[in-house]
Copies of this chain bind each other. A is one copy, B any other.
Amino acid sequence: MSKGFLLVISGPSGSGKGTVCKKLLERNEKLVFSVSATTRKPRPGEIDGVNYFFIDDKKFDEMIENNKFLEYASVHGNRYGTPVDFVMNEIEKGEIVILEIDVQGAIQIKEKYKEAVFIFLVPPSMNELKNRIVKRGTESQEDIDLRLKNALNELKFVDKYDYIVINDEVDEAVSKIEAIIKAEKLRVARLKDILDNII
């Protein structure tokens, strides 16, 4: 059997990584989604260990100290992190673990665990990126400008990634990610053991 691996799907805001990952999971039941830890309170219906691992600040600090996060960040006063043990256990079992994350998080992971496979999802053009951000309709002109500026900055980190997927059409982007998964399973480093069986 092929060894498992961590597939990081990342990109600037407006790249559509959320939509793409949702569709990817719908089309591929066997993929495992990484479950984040968070200090925010569960919302109605959210299940511990499924949607998130709900932990308190003390536990979060402990996990940082013990190097138990692949990456972590604060958003609106709540903390979020990717627990390394969950990811590694699944990989050990031969699973492919999908992690959807922003560019800053992906760069943290690259530093800690360069064996992961990194996909950079990008919008087809800056105009389209702007359209997508504007369409959300929840943001002021200032927020929109800031998001655009950040997205432009984040594109510079492309060298940290292995693959670029242009998210022009969601199904097409998902097909490309599926091809990357199929190919990465065939990497010599992941399949070498099976040669022993053949011999």
What residues make up the interface of A, taking CB atoms closer than 8 Å to B?
A: 120, 122-126, 152, 155, 158-159, 161-166, 176, 178-180, 182-184, 186-188, 191-192, 194-195, 197-199
Bound-state CA distance A166–B197 (Å) is 12
> Which residue, of A123, A152, A179, has the highest number of chain B Cβ atoms within 10 A?
A179
Bound-state CA distance A188–B162 (Å) is 6
Oligomeric state, in number of copies? 2
- Given A155-B199, A195-B158, A198-B122, do A182 and B176 touch, yes or no (CB 8 Å)? yes
Q: A155-B195, A164-B192 are in contact. List 8 more A-B contacts (CB 8 A).
A: A120-B188, A122-B195, A122-B198, A126-B199, A158-B195, A166-B198, A179-B182, A180-B186
Bound-state CA distance A173–B192 (Å) is 17
Q: Can you give 14 A-B contacts (C-beta < 8 A)? A: A122-B195, A122-B198, A158-B188, A159-B188, A162-B187, A163-B186, A164-B192, A165-B186, A166-B198, A176-B182, A176-B183, A178-B179, A182-B183, A183-B184
Query: Residues of B contacting A194 with CB < 8 Å?
Result: 164, 166
